[in-house]
Structure formats: C-alpha cells, structure tokens
Amino acid sequence: MNQDIINEIKNRQADVADKITAQFKRLLRDVKKLPNSLSNESLKKRQKRLAPVQKNIVKLLELLYAGSEVLGIPLKALPVSTS
C-alpha cells in the first residue's frame, strides 16, 4: 500500500488511516492462511474459505473510499456484486 497516501490521510484524519492499515494487514493475514490446494477443493469448501476474505476486501474498499473523501478525491462508486 502506498505509504504516502496513508501518511496524508493520517495527517488529516488519523483514525481513518489506522483503520485502512489494520484492515489491509488483516486481509494479508487471511490470504496467507489460505491453503495452496484451494483450487482442488469442492466449490462449497472454497466458497466457505473465501467468504471471510471477500468480506475483508469489501471492508477495505469501503475504508479506501472514506480515505479518498478525507483527501478530497472525488470517486464514483461502481456497482459491485458481493454474491
């Protein structure tokens, strides 16, 4: 993650920057815990393992949008399906 962006957000609103950093670290931890044989598992098992990671990705995106608002960067939300 670009540290300059996080530092700028931290200068303006530290709690948002801290949440982004923490969520990014959680996501990395969750991805590292995934087994190498994930593609060999059944679809149902893969979905069960990937669901928490998907939720963390959505949370990270929400926090990044909040960070862009702190910086005054206008972003247009794109339609995203989480199903």
Percent of the chain scored above 70 by pLDDT?
Answer: 93
Angle (CA) 79 82 83, round 5°: 120
pLDDT one-digit tens code per residue, 34-63: 888 888 999 999 999 999 999 999 899 888
pLDDT of residue 76: 75
Mean pLDDT, residues 17-31 taken together: 89
Domain ranges of the chain: 3-71
By the 8 A CB rule, do 24 and 1 touch? yes
Mean pLDDT of the chain: 85
Q: pTM score, two decimals?
A: 0.72
Rounded-to-integer distance, Cα 13 and Cα 46, Å: 37
